[in-house]
Amino acid sequence: MRASFFILAFLGSLSIFGYGQQSDSLTRKQISIEELGNDMKRLVELNAPIKNGTDFSTVESIHLNHATVDQIIEVTDPYLNSTIPNSKHLCEFLLMHAVLYQASNELERQELVEVLCKNFLTEESLHFLNNTLLLLRKKDFNDSAKKYVVGLINSLTTYYYGLPAQFLSTAQITKSIPFLWKIVDTSFKTIQNRDIDVLASLARMNEKKAGRLLAEYYNSSFNNWGDFSAKTGEFWRHFLIAKNLAFSLDSTVLNCLIKEFRAIDINYSFRDGDSGFYPAQYLGACIASMIENYPYRKEDYALKPKELLDWLSTNDIQVKDK
């Protein structure tokens, strides 16, 4: 159900963005706050009956796509805590869309992120911000937003504490470091994905020990699920945690991933259900996501392993700012 929501929302964003590029006659100044308020009301009404998704292909969505940041904050405010079905999902998507495409400066990004932190850092809503983590940095959080993020320290006693830890580290809430070390399992025999996320979060807050542990675990026998050279077992699982590690933006982790990337067959792929899995492309995308000055496509579906390999051999690497 959650996957369906994100797929529909993503497709809707493409529709909104594509239409907006083509519509030169429609500008932000042409739309009044009253009109946008009516558009938001209508968008909520249209989406209320929809199950397992939301529709952003309507003209109301197009208008909201051209709103200013202040306008988006104003028209979404009445629905942030509404009980109308899908209304909160609509607000979250419109606010994040504004962060990505409508904010024209860092102050506007901070205002939007503050609204998101105020209204979505709850156990029920936090997962909706999961896909935005890699798009945010410390400078996107003003003091008010950080106060909301600090409240996530209380969530570290929950079963899946990886996501709260990631938000704490993205906002660089360093007072959470002792709590994170206290809850994380560093035994390679029993470590789980949530612990990998916590270690990556600690490394993102410059805890060098955490970066070393991540690199050691990645290369250890505990992260081997088959024989890559013989293409047997579930060896692909070895590569999947590279995405979790990449969140750390840690130089030790980056060097670890690059070392393996240079050693594997960049042309190898295998079938995974109805699609193919390309270890080098997946690992390369994780590496590229950590590099500030990599000039080419970084998405795992678009990254070219040979292009990355050549670039790594001829350029100085700048780790992405935290």
Say yes or no: 298 and 194 in one domain.
yes
Please check whether residues 189 and 320 belong to one and the same domain: yes
pLDDT at 268: 77
Domain that holds residue 296: 184-322
Q: Are residues 320 and 197 in the same domain?
A: yes
**Per-residue confidence in pLDDT tens, the chain, 322 aa:** 444 444 344 444 444 444 444 444 444 457 899 999 999 999 999 999 988 788 888 899 889 989 999 999 999 999 999 999 999 989 999 999 999 999 999 999 999 999 999 999 887 777 777 777 778 999 999 999 999 999 999 888 777 889 999 999 999 999 999 999 999 999 999 999 999 999 999 999 999 999 999 999 999 988 886 666 665 555 667 888 999 999 999 999 999 999 999 998 888 776 555 566 788 999 999 999 999 999 999 988 899 999 999 999 999 999 999 9
CA dist 170 and 173 (Å) reads 8
Question: Do 313 and 208 reside in the same domain of the chain?
Answer: yes
Verify that 138 and 31 share a domain, yes or no: no
- Tell me if 178 is assigned to some domain: no
Q: Are residues 122 and 214 in the same domain?
A: no
Tokens (6 digits) for 2: 């959650």
End position of a domain, from candidates 104, 132, 158: 104
What's the whole-model pTM score? 0.84
Residue 177 lies in a domain: no
Flag whether 109 is in a domain. no
Q: Are residues 82 and 145 located together in one domain of the fold?
A: no
71 domain-assigned:
yes
Domain match, 207 and 319 both: yes
Among the candidates 127, 152, 172, a domain finishes at 172
Tell me, yes or no, whether 1 and 22 share the same domain.
yes
Which of 80, 104, 128 terminates a domain? The answer is: 104
The answer to whether residue 179 is domain-embedded is no
Verify that 136 and 88 share a domain, yes or no. no
Cβ atoms of residues 183 and 159 within 8 Å? no
Which has the closest alpha carbon to 291: 259, 253, 321?
Answer: 321
Residue 42 burial (CB count, 10 A): 15
Q: Say if residue 308 is exposed, middle or buried (CB neighbours under 10 Å; 0-12, 13-18, 19+).
A: buried
Domain-embedded: residue 134: yes
Give the whole-angstrom CA distance, residue 199 versus residue 34: 48
Burial of 44 from C-beta contacts in 10 A (0-12 / 13-18 / 19+): buried
Same domain, 247 and 293: yes
142 is a domain residue: yes
38 in any annotated domain: yes
CA distance 283 to 199: 19
Looking at the structure, do residues 151 and 32 belong to the same domain, yes or no?
A: no
Work out how many domains the chain is built from and give that number: 3
Q: What is the DSSP string of 79-106?
A: GTT--STTHHHHHHHHHHHIIIII--SH
Pick from 319, 321, 322, 313: nearest CA to 287: 319
